[in-house]
Amino acid sequence: MSQPDENPYLRLENQLGYSFSDRHKLESALTHKSYLNENPGWGRPDNERLEFLGDAVLDLIVGHLLMELQPGRNEGELSKMRASIVSELGLAEVAAELGIGEWLFLGRGEEQSGGRRKPSVLADACEALVASIYLDGGFEAAFAVVRHLFGARVSELRDGGAADFKTRLQERAARKRVQVRYSVVEEHGPDHDKTFEVAAIIGDREYARGTGKSKKEAEQRAAELALRALDDEPE
């Protein structure tokens, strides 16, 4: 039997690098409106209002991080960079890396329609989660978590935009009529500060391995190294 003081969200908090003082705020961030419709006595609001606040908090913090790394960029360029990082796809990728889907409170219909994997649902939950941290711990806490979760993505843009090595590798592989896939080989470090090692595999051969603070970053680095290996091969 679970003890009253056990924290069911400990693993998620370790990945975030933040511990909530009020877990009700965390649970609200994870509550989809479909769950509340079916469970009116749940006692937590859904995460829609938190999404609204989280969107603003993310824009501010990601904008701040870009200003640090892009001193020579103009407003238009910075806006495009920020938009790519906090897009639905970008937020859904971060949410998927955290495994937020497994923590969501969903209604039966949303559950059956694959809500735990829907980019829109994951992106909304990611925004709500940032807002809940802001409300629970203040701006400094939110800033630290956003830097932790999005720092690698911002770093990839520090030279004016991440060189999309994965796209280039896919194009090279298509000319050879083979497929590219990426496989996580190892994960190092605690949940809140992991380093990923990813292999780039073309056809049935591993060409390179890359490391990064996110799977996306590790894949980009593996793709970059694989492109170099292909350059050393005769076409």
Confidence of residue 149 (pLDDT cuts 50, 70, 90): very high
One domain, residues 205 and 92 = no
Mean pLDDT confidence for 116-139: 95
DSSP 4: T
Reported as half-sphere exposure (CB side, CA atoms, 13 A), residue 43 has a value of 2
Rounded distance between C-alpha atoms, residue 37 and residue 34, angstroms: 5
Query: Quick check: is 2 in a domain?
Result: no
Say how many domains are in the chain: 2
One domain, residues 216 and 102 = no
Q: Give the model confidence (pLDDT) of 161-210 as tens digits.
A: 444 678 778 878 877 788 899 999 999 888 777 889 999 999 899 999 98
One domain, residues 81 and 132 = yes
Q: Which of 102, 134, 156 is the last residue of a domain?
A: 156
Active-site residue flag, 191? no
Beta-carbon neighbour count of residue 235 at 10 Å?
A: 7
Task: Answer yes or no: are the C-beta atoms of 146 and 58 closer than 8 Å.
Answer: yes
DSSP 31: B
Query: Quick check: is 108 in a domain?
Result: yes
Query: Quick check: is 4 in a domain?
Result: no
Task: Answer yes or no: are the C-beta atoms of 46 and 31 closer than 8 Å.
Answer: yes
- The CATH number given to whatever domain includes residue 197 is 3.30.160.20
One domain, residues 142 and 183 = no
Give the domain range for residue 197. Answer: 165-231
Query: Quick check: is 1 in a domain?
Result: no
Query: Quick check: is 19 in a domain?
Result: yes
Q: What pLDDT was estimated at residue 158?
A: 46
Q: Which of 136, 156, 176 is the last residue of a domain?
A: 156
Q: Which of 156, 175, 202 is the last residue of a domain?
A: 156
Q: Which of 64-78, 121-135, 162-176, 213-227 has the lowest mean pLDDT?
A: 162-176
Nearest CA to 209 among 188, 178, 235, 234? 188
Q: What pLDDT was estimated at residue 101?
A: 93
Which bin fits 17, alpha (ψ -120 to 50), beta or left (φ > 0)?
A: left
Q: What pLDDT was estimated at residue 31?
A: 98
Q: Which of 55, 110, 156, 217 is catalytic?
A: 55
Contacts of 51 (CB under 8 A, 6+ apart): 124, 127, 128, 131
One domain, residues 89 and 193 = no
One domain, residues 81 and 142 = yes
- The CATH number given to whatever domain includes residue 115 is 1.10.1520.10
Mean pLDDT confidence for 142-150: 95
Task: Answer yes or no: are the C-beta atoms of 227 and 233 closer than 8 Å.
Answer: no
One domain, residues 42 and 147 = yes
Active-site residue flag, 197? no
Mean pLDDT confidence for 97-108: 94
In a 10 Å sphere around its CB, with 0-12 CB exposed, 13-18 middle and 19+ buried, how is residue 35 labelled?
A: buried
Nearest CA to 50 among 25, 77, 16? 25
Query: Quick check: is 200 in a domain?
Result: yes
Reported as half-sphere exposure (CB side, CA atoms, 13 A), residue 90 has a value of 20
pTM over 0.85: no
Q: Which of 127, 136, 197, 217 is catalytic?
A: 127
Task: Answer yes or no: are the C-beta atoms of 26 and 132 closer than 8 Å.
Answer: yes
